[in-house]
Structure 1
Amino acid sequence: MSKALVIGIDNYLGNPLHGCVNDAVEIAKLMRRNADGSINMEVDLQVNVVADTPPSTSSRAYLLSLITDLFRGNRYVSLLYFSGHGYVNNMGGFLVTPGAREFDEGIKMDEVIQLANASEAMNRVIILDCCFAGALAEGDAATGINICIKQGVTILAASRKNETAMEAGGHGVFTNLLIQALAGGAADIGGYITPGSIYAYIDQALGETGQRPVFKTNILRFISLRKVAPQVPGEVLQKLIEYFPVFNQEHQLNPSYEYTNTESWVQIKTAPYADEENVKKFKALQKLQSVGLVTPVDSPHMYFAAMEHKSCRLTPLGYHYWRLVKEGKI
């Protein structure tokens, strides 16, 4: 079983935030279940951890105990998400907790890395939406600390170690994009959402200027953090090797593939007329074409390729998925 610890803190004394609890609630909702309603992972949602008055270290100790427990288990995925204040000084980076004060700013980022590195969980994922979040991945020249992550650890940070992280519209700018990515924006053709695809989605959306996300990983292969409806049904994807027995072979089309080409249809008709099996096959080919796996040959559209007795073929991306199907990997 996988587990996520999702933390969102707005109630900082003297310097409150306004979108972190919203961020955490939405991330928890997405991580708890896949798009089809099936359970994805266990989620522990922690928002606005109460700070004592006068300030004490209780909230820090409590959150650190939760993070320690998260990484203690032998799970498939242990995921930490934090949205709140971040802070850096000559001692390094900190996840700021309620009740923070000078010389007791919160949880040190290198403590989090040490816990993740020592964890027995197969995959450890840390996602931070806070100012200076990149200090977790980039290290700090002032302290001479060079961050090393062990195999199975992935870090996704909202900003570089010297950058602030912005809020807008009730959410952090980074987490708003993270929510979109987890909702399906970063899904591959099979509906799987990986840390790498999330970073690519956010990186492209943020553009070249302003807040820059940081991504660091030491893994053998990407894992899926959530699944949404596939762009192409699995049974259609499996048809690739049936329609294209050889990867560079074209699939011959003719008018019998087009369902409107029937004798009862009031328009110009072209023999051979619509055939039920070919129509079914053509709909699958059109679905594959819609996601860039198949393209018509010498024709702008699949319809014209069929009506003009032309063909279709695999694209380079189509060949990639054809090979995966052929080798039984999907």
Structure 2
Amino acid sequence: MRKALVIGIDYYAAGGSLSGCVNDAHRVGTMLESHSDGSPNFDVRLVTASSDRDQITFRTLKDLIVELFKSEDDIALLYFAGHGYVDATGGYICGSDSCQGDEGLALGDIMSLAGQSKAKNRIVILDSCHSGAAGADPLKPAVSEVTIGTTILTASRADEAATEISGGGVFTELLVDALAGAAANLVGEVTPGSVYAHIDQSLGSWGQRPVFKTNVSGFVSLRKVRPPIDPDILRALPKLFPDYGFQLQLDPSFEPELPSQGLNPLADPENTEIFSQLQKLNRVNLLIPDSQPHMYHAAVNSDTVRLTALGEHYRRLALKKRI
């Protein structure tokens, strides 16, 4: 079982209302509730505040998060988009009724609730200003305490704002892209670590910087998307390349067509099928020709092909039956 609480607050009674947090929450909730093939993923509870009629007060905010982390599920995930605040005592996320930043819900309380949760994995994702203070000790700002099984991903460092642009958060825009598949590995899994890597690479050195803190023995999959290559081809890697550094010899019988002659009279159906798989491996940077510029030239010129370092990694995974 996988449970997600997704909160977006645009409306703030004391002013300073936002414009993109509700939209961001809807987009994140939609991504999390199903995998790309439509199969169910997280059981999402979406709570948003667009006006005074549906405001999310401090009390409601805390009660929702308390309920989430009572979970005994595989994953309990919190996503929050709204105002954040930090002072000498620590960081906060703000409900609609917060008149001052320190009237919000303390990040320390959230991390305490997550740390005490019986859920196997707790994931906290915050798109709010100063959210990088999550997990930090106010007396030792350079020190973070993250309990086993907990992962924190935030839009900015403790001393930074989180930017909105074009009706949404910069961080959440990249988060949604990552969940949609931009951060997927070759078996189609999106993990918290790959999401962070995608966001980190996308934000420049002069803007807000995302923060990633984790204390886990293994990453979990947040979402599954269609893999860029058939997993059966990955599983066949040890058969095609039985040893580390193995060079597979090609010859013209692997190429089904020749530019000047059409169908290749030397083509062997079994070899052309293998060559089709090799070309797909080449397209995702798992395989390269040893001395020729393209796979076609490797075949017609009887060159060898070999796995890249990434290809060797997936060959080892296939050997261990982890694909």
For normalisation by structure 1, the TM-score amounts to 0.92
One of 182, 188, 209 as aligned partner of 1:191: 188
One of 150, 154, 163 as aligned partner of 2:151: 154
Separation in structure 2 between the aligned mates of residue 241 and residue 299 of structure 1, nearest angstrom:
23
Look up the match of 1:39: 40
Amino acid of the structure 1 residue aligned with 2:24: D
Separation in structure 1 between the aligned mates of residue 142 and residue 242 of structure 2, nearest angstrom:
54
Gaps of 5+ in 1: none
Alignment partner of 1:59 is 2:57 = yes
Aligned counterparts, 1:212-251, within 5 A: 212-251=209-248
Cα shift at 1:49: 7.3
Relative distance call for 1:144 and 1:177 in structure 2 (3 A) is: closer
CA displacement, residues 244-278 of structure 1 (integer Å, 9 cap, x when unaligned): 112221111111111214xxx8528876x122221
Alignment partner of 1:94 is 2:92 = yes
CA displacement, residues 194-247 of structure 1 (integer Å, 9 cap, x when unaligned): 111111100110021110111100000111100111111111111101111122
Contact (CA 8 Å) 1:50, 1:98: kept in 2 or not?
no
Separation in structure 2 between the aligned mates of residue 268 and residue 85 of structure 1, nearest angstrom:
64
Amino acid of the structure 1 residue aligned with 2:38: G
Q: Identity of paired residues, percent?
A: 45
Amino acid of the structure 2 residue aligned with 1:149: V
Look up the match of 2:204: 207
Cα shift at 1:140: 2.7
Look up the match of 2:285: 292
Separation in structure 2 between the aligned mates of residue 126 and residue 107 of structure 1, nearest angstrom:
14
Separation in structure 2 between the aligned mates of residue 222 and residue 306 of structure 1, nearest angstrom:
40
Amino acid of the structure 2 residue aligned with 1:267: Q
Look up the match of 2:5: 5
One of 267, 287, 299 as aligned partner of 2:261: 267
Q: Secondary structure at the match of 2:97?
A: strand
CA displacement, residues 32-89 of structure 1 (integer Å, 9 cap, x when unaligned): 0001111011000000076589x9xx72111211111111111111100000000112
CA displacement, residues 94-140 of structure 1 (integer Å, 9 cap, x when unaligned): 11000112486221110000001001111100000000001113343
One of 108, 112, 115 as aligned partner of 1:114: 112
Contact (CA 8 Å) 1:51, 1:99: kept in 2 or not?
no
Q: Secondary structure at the match of 1:97?
A: coil
Alignment partner of 1:24 is 2:25 = yes
Look up the match of 2:309: 316
Separation in structure 2 between the aligned mates of residue 88 and residue 108 of structure 1, nearest angstrom:
9
Contact (CA 8 Å) 1:52, 1:99: kept in 2 or not?
no
Relative distance call for 1:164 and 1:247 in structure 2 (3 A) is: same
Please identify runs of 4+ aligned residues in structure 1 that moved more than 2 A.
Answer: 49-53, 101-104, 137-141, 143-147, 265-271
Range with bigger deviation, 61-70 or 36-45: 61-70
Range with bigger deviation, 132-141 or 85-94: 132-141
Amino acid of the structure 1 residue aligned with 2:17: P
Q: Secondary structure at the match of 2:95?
A: strand
Separation in structure 2 between the aligned mates of residue 299 and residue 268 of structure 1, nearest angstrom:
22
Total equivalences in the alignment: 322
Separation in structure 1 between the aligned mates of residue 206 and residue 277 of structure 2, nearest angstrom:
41
Contact (CA 8 Å) 2:136, 2:143: kept in 1 or not?
yes
Contact (CA 8 Å) 1:50, 1:59: kept in 2 or not?
no
For normalisation by structure 2, the TM-score amounts to 0.94
Contact (CA 8 Å) 2:241, 2:248: kept in 1 or not?
yes
Amino acid of the structure 2 residue aligned with 1:37: G
Look up the match of 1:131: 129
